Amino acid sequence: MHTDSRNFLRVQNARVRARRTGIFLGVVLLATVLNGCEMPVDKAAEPEAVGGPALLRRLTESQYRASIADIFSPDVPVVARFEKQLRSEGLIAVGTGEAGMSPFSVEQYDNAALGVAETILSEDRRADFVPCTPEDEQTFDASCAAEFIQRYGPVLFRRPLSDEQKVRYLEVARLGAAELGGFYQGLQYALVGMMTAPQFLLRIEQVQTEKNADGEAKEIQRLDAWSMATRLSYFLTNSTPDAELLRAAAAGELDSADGLARQVDRLIASPAFEAAVRAFFRDMLEFDLFEDLAKDAAIYPAYNSTVAADAQEQTLLDIVELLVEQKGDYRDLFTLSETHLTRALGIIYQQPVAPRKGWQKTQLSYQGDRVGIQSHISFVALHAHPGRSSPSLRGAALRKVFLCQEVPDPPADVDFSAVQDASSEQMPTARHRLAVHNSQPACAGCHKIMDPVGLGLENYDGLGTFRSQENNVRIDASGSLDGIDYENPEGLGQALHDHPETARCAVEKLYRFAVGRDTVWYERDYMDYLINTFASSGYQFPELMRTIALSKNFYAIAEAPESQNHIQMAGVTDPERNPL
């Protein structure tokens, strides 16, 4: 009990400290300073697990599609329109733990289920999927139906079916067969039932209650084997647990460090691992925003849906090559001098691309005026206006996406009218125009955080094409990122590479992505452990994912003493959540 109350006090004090820190740190930059005051910890070993709440998470669209492809076959079409996904704390993965289920989404899941079931049980395909043949197609065959339900129920629900569930879906199959005059029609609706069940659409995490010597439930619990397998699988493959992982869960192998390590290493070595890395970076880089991205066709005629798709793929190809194939240093993403291009992208990058179709590995720029993924179309076009660039949007996004630093919203009553006349002769470049804007004290505070960084990307227009001049005046792309000065886009890439928050932010976001919630203050020792391990591996990303997947904290469950546990790492608070 003493330990309990001490822990409790520790948490409370931490919360008070965090709140106070939040008051003084409305502006994010000081976060860097805080990193200097770490407590001495054993850097090699994982600190005692503190855990977080068990979650109820919706499958993301890509997880849903991948799960169907893995359970049935990649060529089974999923016909549904998925709604825009909720982003919370900078990640859709965190939004999955908060998003509701509107009538629209259930309607769409239902459509998808009907379509999949129709394909699976169609005359052409049923032999591939039904593990038995009924006595008579016109009548109900209970044992074959039970076999079918047993074949797909547990993989869809990611745990064994209860007896009630088995009976329920068997009854549906019986009713369907009777009313619709065919055994396979019955199976079709049993499958629709399983695919619209909450156990499939939601990851409902369950806890395995462990007791201490006195027979009381321990303060820190652990997910049960099935929920562990599910967390692990969606984290390392962005899809549902495969047969081997479900087998290991059933056999209790995930309880032992060796058994868990065998599965983790197997999944990391599997081809599906790349999908997980892609899923994380799609989420981190906010590629869902491309759905709403509009570019003015008169100003940027080269922009179209092919460019939008290729631009995302370009960045992901570079990321996968460096991080997964070459096992390179994460920070080198910001100084990469090579890339992959298609012809459609070549037009915008002003680079020749030989193959008519497909990708070519090439220099990102032959003049050395472009390095790193932050200079890609997928970043500079995404964070710009429809008809021009925006140093402020790019600066704010660069800090938020790569450094986990929040920039507050602009005050509601700003007068911009004197400022943004892009054709003005007195103010030919964005730097000139923003200098005027920053003479207003209410604006200057935040623009000092955003603009110097964004101005380092001003050599790329609103779509991403290189330019050395704006309105016939040379663009000055020099600037400073939290004390690191640079002269050009290459220097900005290096500054981002060398920034102490770069690696820390990746760790934080990856962990939030993995667990589907924000990190909490009392996980700071664990976060330090992850960051130190990441550093000592030479910032190898798959190593970091492995460390998380093997850690006890990843599976540890502690109900939060209060629901408001949104205090972020490094004392950075979201001013919108905490107006104080």
Partner 1 sequence: MKAITRRGFLRGTMQGAVVGVALPLLNCLLDENGKAYADTGQRLPVRFGTWIWGCGFIPELWIPEQTGNDYQLHGHMAPLQPYRDKLAIFSGFDVKLDGVPNKPHVTGCLGLRTGVPVPDYNVKAPTLDILISDQIADTRFSSIEVSTSGVQRSYSYRDAGSVNPSEVSPLALYRRIFGEGFQDPNAMDFQPDPRYMVHKSVLSATQEERRQLMNSVGAEDRARLDEYFTSIRELEQKLALQLQPPAPVENFVMPDEPPQTSLDSEMENVMENHRLMAGLLARALQCNQTRVFNVLFSDTASTLRRAGHSDTHHTLTHEEPVDPALGHQREVAWFAEKSMIAWREFLDALTAIPEGDGVLLDNCLVLAHSDCSIAKSHAVEGIPAMVAGNAGGRIRTGFHMAGKADPISRIGLTVQQAMGLQVDRWGVLSMETNRTITDLLA
C-alpha neighbours within 13 Å on the C-beta side of residue 283: 32
Provide φ and ψ at 468, rounded to 5°: -100, -15
* Closer of 124 and 292 to partner 1 (Cβ): 292
Min. distance of Cβ 244 from partner 1 in angstroms?
Answer: 27
Min. distance of Cβ 206 from partner 1 in angstroms?
Answer: 7
Min. distance of Cβ 79 from partner 1 in angstroms?
Answer: 11
* Closer of 34 and 422 to partner 1 (Cβ): 422
**409, containing H or E segment:** none
Min. distance of Cβ 337 from partner 1 in angstroms?
Answer: 31
CA dist list (Å): 452 to 231, 428, 459, 484: 40, 17, 13, 11
Rounded CA separation 143/87 (Å): 45
* Closer of 355 and 411 to partner 1 (Cβ): 411
* Radius of gyration from C-alpha coordinates of the chain: 26
- The DSSP code sequence of 218-276 is PSSEEE-HHHHHHHHHHHHHSS---HHHHHHHHTTGGGSHHHHHHHHHHHHHSTTHHHH
* Closer of 168 and 552 to partner 1 (Cβ): 168
Tokens of 469: 């001049």
Q: Do 59 and 67 touch, CB atoms closer than 8 A?
A: yes
Residue with structure tokens 């709140």? 19
CA angle 481, 484, 488 (to 5 degrees): 75
Rounded CA separation 521/562 (Å): 13
* Closer of 194 and 545 to partner 1 (Cβ): 194
CA dist list (Å): 537 to 102, 508, 523, 526: 44, 17, 21, 17
Min. distance of Cβ 191 from partner 1 in angstroms?
Answer: 9
* Closer of 288 and 525 to partner 1 (Cβ): 288
* Closer of 146 and 299 to partner 1 (Cβ): 299
Coil, helix or strand at residue 64: helix
Rounded CA separation 152/52 (Å): 31
* Closer of 422 and 435 to partner 1 (Cβ): 422
* Closer of 9 and 418 to partner 1 (Cβ): 418
Q: 274: exposed, middle or buried (C-beta count within 10 Å: 0-12, 13-18, 19+)?
A: middle
Q: Do 354 and 563 touch, CB atoms closer than 8 A?
A: no
Min. distance of Cβ 301 from partner 1 in angstroms?
Answer: 11
Expressed in angstroms, the distance from the first to the final Cα of the chain is: 34
* Closer of 180 and 251 to partner 1 (Cβ): 180
Amino acid at site 144: C
Report the side by side order of strands in the sheet with 556-557. Answer: 207-208, 221-223, 556-557
Min. distance of Cβ 552 from partner 1 in angstroms?
Answer: 22
3-state helix, strand, coil in the chain (%, to 5): 55, 5, 40
* Closer of 300 and 486 to partner 1 (Cβ): 300
* Closer of 96 and 263 to partner 1 (Cβ): 96
Min. distance of Cβ 117 from partner 1 in angstroms?
Answer: 10
Provide φ and ψ at 129, rounded to 5°: -115, -25
Min. distance of Cβ 248 from partner 1 in angstroms?
Answer: 24
Min. distance of Cβ 193 from partner 1 in angstroms?
Answer: 4
Min. distance of Cβ 292 from partner 1 in angstroms?
Answer: 6
CA angle 557, 280, 98 (to 5 degrees): 50
Min. distance of Cβ 559 from partner 1 in angstroms?
Answer: 7
